[in-house]
Structures are given as C-alpha cells and as structure tokens.
Amino acid sequence: MVGDEGSPSGAPAELTAGLRADYDVAAEEWAEGPGPMYAELARALVAAAPVPLAGRLVLDLGAGIGVAGRAALAAGARRVVAVDLSEGMLRRGGGGHPVAADAVALPFRDGRFDLVVAAFCLNHLSSLAAGLAEARRVGTAIAASMFAPGWTHPAKEAVDDAVRSFGYRPPTWHTILAPGSRASDPQVLARCAAAAGFTRVQARATAVPARLATAAELVSWRLGMAHVAPFMRSLDEPRRAAVRRAAEQAVAAVSGPEMPLVVSMVVLTAS
C-alpha cells in the first residue's frame, strides 16, 4: 500500500495511519490469501511494461509483499527497489530492496529508475495527480494497474455478507478509499499521466485469469485483504473457523463448486 500523508492535499494523518496499521497486521494473511491472485495480475502488468525490462532498474511502488517486484526480476530487471508505507508488508516481501517511504515524497533523485511499477496502489492516494507527478520525477516510464470501474465478483459480496453477520464493520479508510473511481477511469488516468509529464500514454482495460476458483480459495482471497484480516485476527480460533465455514458456504451457494476468478483491470503505461 502507499500513502501521501506528507502532502498538503494528502489523506488525513489518521486515515493513513489506519491504512498502514491494517496492512501491517494483514501481511501474513495477505501472502497466503490475496497474494496468489495479485501475483498473476502483477505478471500481466509487467508484461505490458512500455520498456524492455532486461538490465533495468525498477521501482515497485506500493510494493506490499513484492509480487510485482518478483515479476520484474523474472522478466530480467537488473534490480528492484520496493517502496511501501507498511513495514509489515515489506518484511514479508522478497521482490527487491525494501524502503519504507511515502508515495508523494520518495527519497530518490530525479530520473533514478528506468521503470516505475505501481500495482493496485494509486487508489490509496488522495491525489492521483501528485502520485503520478512524483512517479514521473523519479522514473522515466510507468506501468500501473487498478481494478476496472464496476468490476466485481460474486464471492466478494457473499464473503462480505457472511463476515458482517459475525459483527464485522469495514474500517474508515476502506469506506473512504473503496470506490477508487478517480484511480480507475482510463480517461482520468491518461489525462493525469500526461499532465505529470509522461508521453506515449495508454490506458486500457484487460481481463486476467487469476487462477483462483474454489470456494476455499476465493474465501482466502477475501479474508486475507487488509480491510478484513485485522477483524479475523481479533477473533478466537473457533470463531475464525466459524466465519470461514459460513463464508465458504455462502460462496458455494452463489458460485457452485468452482467459479474461476477473472479480474478486469485497467493498465496504464507511459514513458
């Protein structure tokens, strides 16, 4: 995850602090639950990069557990620097040299990186323009992804309803950031990237199979998300098991034995 607590127009400090704290707590569950899905999406994002990765220096912005950094290294990148506000996520990483930093106040010189990879993190910023401007300052090219407007999956609502029945309420930061419309509309993205100084800007939607299909896999994806995992951690073991059973039953009821997860995501590339 990324934040912009240092920006005059950034998120309130308490919002960023809550976001960071929940990602710290969720790091272990994220690696085992949402991690496999985001790894598939990261490979698709890196494959769309506007520059060849062989021998390049890459910044993995909002790195989390490092799935995009690992994809960049597998594609031939010489070195990856992984930036995130959540030290807990960085400790579970392995996709590059970890640096805890703010997305709109990066501790790097101008033009330091050949490519900035920003996988599903720009929606965490209160100012998309400020985030893209800082990415342009430190990098000569960018590849960014976010969920396409309106994309959803039956498992999301099924799991959310099941967890709410056990007393779950989403944290404030998720309620505020969840819509993410400012960071998912292709036209807005392209316009902000061009205003930041990027050229050869493209923003398009693409569908990516995420290789999750069973109720157990889909439930692990949702329960491991940073807005849910801290609630799960607050429960005792019998209660957690009960939530998981209820969620799996709810997902099976709407999807049957299997429902492959195919994610519609917007990919922004520019150089």
A 10 A CB-CB count for 14 gives 11
For 13-151+172-213+262-270, CATH number? Answer: 3.40.50.150
Q: Average of pLDDT values for 72-95?
A: 94
- pLDDT reading at 53 higher than 60: yes
Poorest-confidence range of 100-114, 174-188, 202-216, 254-268? Answer: 174-188
pLDDT category of residue 111 using cuts at 50, 70 and 90: very high
Structural contact between residues 238 and 166, judged by C-beta atoms closer than 8 angstroms? no
Block residue for tokens 């598939």: 40
Banded model confidence at residue 40, pLDDT cuts 50, 70, 90: very high
Q: Which residue has the higher pLDDT, 108 or 176?
A: 108
Higher pLDDT, 172 or 59: 59
Please tell me the predicted confidence (pLDDT) of residue 148.
93
Predicted confidence band at 12 (pLDDT cuts at 50, 70, 90)? low
Query: How far is it, in rounded angstroms, from Cα 229 to Cα 214?
Result: 20
Whether pTM > 0.85 for this model: the answer is yes
Domain boundaries, the chain: 13-151+172-213+262-270
